[in-house]
Homo-oligomer: A and B are copies of this chain.
């Protein structure tokens, strides 16, 4: 029983962060061991561009609900390693249309093999937690409706 568990509700946010970090770093180990020359957070970009063929930074950041500078950073790394190609939109020169490169398309079958293994692992980890996905969704919904900051302001009791 570790300290974060001992302190109950006070430790929940940090436990979620700790778990998130553990999963991220362990996934990175896996990618490295498997000889994949990609970062874990490229996964979703691959999936999105596989599905939509061509997207802009703004569209990706909306799909993933992540800030656009975060997406820019990921995309730049992927471009540097030739996983993504860009062209400027003909009708709106501000927009950069992003597409998977040939290199990416060639690698996708192998990548999917590993992503499938990840899915199996995830299933394994929550197979005895039948409510986890649903309750996580509820959690996401609640913080989307009113965030932690706003809720806590209302919960402060002035001394």
Contacts and interface: CB of A to CB of B under 8 A. Distances in A.
A129 to B, nearest CB: 4
Assign chain A's interface to a size class. Answer: 35 or more
Interface string A127-159: 011011101111110110001110111011101
A7 to B, nearest CB: 7
A113 interface: yes
A150 B25 CA distance: 12
Nearest to A123: B9
Is the contact region of chain A dominated by helix, strand, or loop, or is it mixed? helix
A139 B126 contact: yes
Contact of A121 (B16, B63, B151): B151
Nearest to A137: B5
B22 A20 contact: no
A137 B120 CA distance: 20
Given A120-B155, A135-B132, A142-B125, A65 B13 contact: no
Interface of A: 2-5, 7-20, 22-24, 26-27, 29-30, 33-34, 40-41, 43-44, 47-48, 63-66, 109-110, 113-126, 128-129, 131-133, 135-140, 142-143, 147-149, 151-153, 155-157, 159
